[in-house]
Structure 1
Amino acid sequence: MSDEWKAPDADEQSPQSERRENDRSWKLLEKTLLASVQEQRRARRWGIFFKILTFAYLLGVLAMFTPLFSGMEKSAGKGDHYTAVIDVKGVIADKEAASADNLVGALRAAFDDPKVKGVILRINSPGGSPVQAGYVYDEIRRLRGLHPTVKVYAVIADLGASGAYYIASAADDIYADKASLVGSIGVTAAGYGFVGTMEKLGMERRAYTSGAHKSFLDPFQPQKPDETQFWQGVLDTTHNQFIAMVKQGRGDRLKDKDNPDMFSGLIWSGEQALQLGLIDGLGSSSSVARDVIGEKDMVDFTVEDSAFDRFSKKLGTSVADRVAMYMGFDGPSLR
């Protein structure tokens, strides 16, 4: 008796057919998921792009409408007379808040204001460029000559050292707190030497110059006695200029001009500085405005960076300048 063959029903498919069907389903699902992920990535990229574009646009608008000299607008709404205040804060250097351009601009604006009865330089600085400090010193003395009735008072907060004291010595009088740090009348030009490191690493420095001493500040080359002596002469000359300006500004108020420690780079507390004649009294900005100038209302004439400039600096646009400064390539520094 022979068996009769029957075709399998739809519900009775072989395991192999079921596997093929499952594979096709999984591949279709996989393609769908991948397409969805790719679409999400594209949407995310475009979202980030438009956010950056919007941020850049708003930043540009803010930069255009933010006044470059916002400190000049702070006098609005005050009385008949007031005391002008100008901050000398941080390192005194070009493109910094305490640059000569900013400080000179603020000083001129204050002296040109007929309501200003006196000017306070509110100092909290370690010093900086002798050139920038010299510009400010000269301008203070020029403006004092043009406006003899408007006095300039330097008020040192935590620190008034080196180039900051250079500027302060041009004022009519200097005040500080008893614990303020005052002085540091000296010059420095610091750098690093990497000659030994280069030798250990088996590296060779190749510098091509025209001029026998053109690369004498190169930190990758050994120092030469004659070049070191020359550079010391530059620093000594700058130091002597600094001393001369302090003596000119302070005059007979310096108690012991011949004291070698006075101009050695040492720094003193406000109490000690008063005994040495480096300052004229103890006080704060508010006490000087109220008790010395006679106008307790103070108006800030400090020149401020625009919002765009402040944002740019936070992004690190001044990194190269600072590296050059601390590597010793920016010349002598009153610090």
Structure 2
Amino acid sequence: MGIQAEAQPLSAYTSFQNQFMVWDNGMIRKVEYLVPLQVGIGRSAIPYIDNSRNFKIYYQGASRKVNDGFTQAFQVTDNIVTYQNSKALFVWERGNTTNLSKYCEQFYIGDSLVVFFDGVQREFRAYYDGRIFPIEGFLAGNSVSNIFDTSTTSIRNSMDISSGQLPSIKVSDNIAAYVNYANQFRIFYHGEIVEQENYLVNSFDVGRNNVAYVDANREFKIFSNGKTTTIDNFPPYTYTAGDNVVAYVGYDNYFKIYYNDSLYTIGYFQPDFVVKDNVVAFQDATGYFKVFYKGQIYTLESYYPTDFKAGYNSVAYVNRANVLRLFTEGDIYDVTNADVATWRLDYDVIQYRFGANMFKVFYKGKTY
């Protein structure tokens, strides 16, 4: 049984009457009459704690109560929601709830995957596709704090795991990579453990179905869709993995992108770049703002904006002409030239506020 995504575009906001509204694939629904205390936006669900501290999840057109005031925190990704009641860890997926651990203090959530340390059985486990899999009793790491530290957005060749500069486990949408207690490099992929390397790797990063890493011999490799390819015999200057894409600056100073088992050489320069779901936003050698998307390069601006958001096949920003622009799935839209107070990118949905607390939602060329 594989993951069957039921993702649909969602967004949410509080109206000028302080009512909680959900935008659901073009439909606007009034969900609560009072402002929630906390809200998360996923691709298929919207979890929130209501004004009475009840934990609820909006899914498939309706809001359902999960519990009465027991939930202290929650997290949401494309398809799943994790939440904590005291030290107990739960996962919600497609309307079903599973208790992962009665005592858990360490966990990380991906699109359809949760990796966690079960404090009762004292082992690391993975939840995937409705099942729980044992992984390891111990993982490498100089301290508990850096085991699940995923704050590093770009891996540089001066960093390594052995010194404690990099985490020993990373989890993305459908894949997890980690260094076990014997310093062996393993990949959890589609419910199975792949014995990737038997010696300590220097560094690694993960995307949706791919893992980029520098092995013990300092060769740069990419594991993608179950296959490993040696990209270079030398480590890159810097690299980042995203969903189905890896961007890096090689030792030869060429900026390159690996996508769909093909390698694209972009140019001889070391750019600022951001990697997200199928997109790489970067500043080219002339200072232009460009996006690589599924094998094509698109020019967005003649300058590199200081603030932009990248998400699900999309990049959004306000340009110098004060126009809120959106690149999504190969198309470029001028969303609005109004004086926008705030805006947010929920995957590929833009929500923005203007005037006296007025909200609009833009999705696939249409404003709601």
Interval of TM-score (by shorter of Structure 1 and Structure 2): under 0.3
The structure with the greater share of residues assigned to strand is 2
Relative contact order (C-alpha < 8 Å, sep 6+): which is higher? 1
**Structure in which a larger fraction of residues adopt helix:** 1
TM value normalised by structure 1: 0.22
Could you tell me the TM-score, scaled by structure 2's length?
Answer: 0.21
